[in-house]
């Protein structure tokens, strides 16, 4: 009896909702009849044997932690099919029916009027013309670029690069810089303590994790949640690390106004405070 066909092909993708350079943990996306069937962790054994790969290993008190033999994407990544096929997803350029870039714009109807589909060429022309109009009337710095915080990084539409490069080549812009919130809390916190760059994002290859695991007696988590916020960068590695720290006797103290998931699961002591 022939086995039931469940996919036409499998595509390897980096899966991250707020990925820094290119996405979070890698995943395997099964496709059938041109549609996503399922998203699952990447099984490294599909091509390699464990004895062929030199994996890192960190030891403490007779125990050790090393990479899992599969990726560990966060829940957002594993449920990405729902995002792709959501009925609320905007697939094409839309323009408000009573908005005329060359005439009446009717700003009082924002949020009230319906929308009509337009072509990509028309949308591109509207955007280009609006940038030129603002530059002419108000100057280059009148264009505000919100591209420094979270962003779903792809190649073309990443907010951390291409938009800024375009506007910079057009004469300049104003960059929106916000306070260190969400993942920036522990990201920038690591910078202040260690004086390093990307190593502060808990990559397993960084000596910070190795040094802390081998020598620390206590780790302080200040306003961060390692059970949720690192998904866009290193999957669920931070979660595994916190469980290992508890296993080898490294105390964990959380200082945060809310009892977040990391504090609820791993904290030896939770200290709440108000800003």
The token pair at 24 is: 């979070």
Distance CA 141, CA 15 (A): 34
Instruction: Kindly list the distances between the CA atom of residue 101 and the CA atoms of 11, 121, 127, 257, 271, in Å, as whole numbers in the listed order.
Output: 41, 15, 10, 46, 54
Residue ranges of the chain with per-residue pLDDT less than 50: 18-19, 182-183, 198-200, 202, 204-205
Q: Where are the alpha helices (DSSP H) in the chain?
A: 75-78, 80-84, 120-138, 162-169, 184-194, 207-215, 231-234, 237-247, 261-266
Q: Indicate whether 203 and 224 sit together in one domain.
A: yes
| Secondary structure tally for the chain: helices H, strands E | 9, 12
Distance CA 247, CA 242 (A): 9
Burial class (CB in 10 A: 0-12, 13-18, 19+), 15: buried
The token pair at 73 is: 């994407």
Residues in Cβ contact with 141 at an 8 Å cutoff, skipping those fewer than 6 apart: 172, 173, 174
Report DSSP state, residue 13.
E
Torsions phi, psi of 265, nearest 5? -90, -45
Rg (CA), the chain: 23
Q: Indicate whether 130 and 170 sit together in one domain.
A: no
Distance of CA 40 to the CA centre of its chain: 17
Q: Evaluate whether residue 133 is within a structural domain.
A: yes
What's residue 31's pLDDT? 96
Q: Evaluate whether residue 236 is within a structural domain.
A: yes
What's residue 273's pLDDT? 73
Q: Evaluate whether residue 4 is within a structural domain.
A: no
Domain boundary among 149, 178, 207: 178
Q: Evaluate whether residue 2 is within a structural domain.
A: no
Q: Indicate whether 112 and 131 sit together in one domain.
A: yes
Q: Indicate whether 192 and 122 sit together in one domain.
A: no
Q: Evaluate whether residue 168 is within a structural domain.
A: yes
Count of domains forming the chain: 4
Q: Indicate whether 80 and 123 sit together in one domain.
A: no
Q: Indicate whether 39 and 74 sit together in one domain.
A: yes
Q: Indicate whether 259 and 191 sit together in one domain.
A: yes
Q: Evaluate whether residue 44 is within a structural domain.
A: yes
Which residues constitute the domain of residue 80?
A: 9-84
Torsions phi, psi of 96, nearest 5? -60, 135
What's residue 194's pLDDT? 54
Q: Indicate whether 27 and 67 sit together in one domain.
A: yes
Q: Indicate whether 97 and 80 sit together in one domain.
A: no
Q: Evaluate whether residue 3 is within a structural domain.
A: no
Q: Indicate whether 255 and 193 sit together in one domain.
A: yes
Beta strands in the chain (DSSP E): 9-14, 26-32, 35-41, 58-60, 63-65, 94-96, 115-117, 144-145, 174-175, 218-222, 251-255, 269-271
Q: Evaluate whether residue 155 is within a structural domain.
A: yes
What's residue 158's pLDDT? 59
């Amino acid at each position: 009896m022939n086995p039931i066909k469940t996919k036409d092909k499998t595509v390897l993708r980096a899966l991250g909702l707020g990925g820094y350079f290119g996405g979070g943990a890698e995943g395997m996306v099964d496709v059938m009849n041109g549609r996503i069937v399922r998203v699952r962790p990447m099984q490294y054994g599909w091509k390699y044997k464990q004895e062929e790969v030199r994996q890192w290993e960190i030891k403490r008190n007779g125990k050790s932690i090393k990479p899992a033999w599969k990726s560990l994407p966060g829940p957002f990544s594993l449920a990405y099919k729902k995002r792709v096929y959501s009925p609320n997803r905007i697939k094409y350029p839309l323009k408000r029916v009573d908005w005329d870039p060359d005439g009446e714009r009717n700003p009082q109807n924002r949020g009230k009027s319906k929308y009509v589909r337009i072509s990509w060429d028309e949308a591109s022309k509207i955007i280009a013309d609006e940038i030129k109009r603002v530059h002419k009337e108000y100057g280059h710095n009148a264009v505000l670029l919100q591209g420094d915080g979270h962003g779903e990084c792809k190649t073309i539409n990443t907010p951390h690069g291409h938009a800024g490069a375009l506007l910079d080549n057009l004469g300049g812009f104003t960059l929106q810089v916000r306070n260190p919130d969400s993942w920036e809390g522990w990201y920038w916190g690591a910078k202040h303590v260690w004086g390093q760059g990307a190593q502060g994002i808990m990559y397993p290859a960084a000596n910070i994790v190795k040094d802390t695991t081998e020598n620390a007696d206590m780790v302080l988590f200040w306003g961060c949640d390692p059970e949720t916020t690192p998904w866009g960068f290193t999957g669920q590695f931070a979660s595994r690390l916190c469980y290992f720290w508890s296993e080898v006797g490294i105390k964990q103290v959380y200082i945060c106004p809310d009892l977040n998931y990391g504090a609820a699961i791993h904290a030896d002591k939770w200290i709440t405070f108000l800003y």
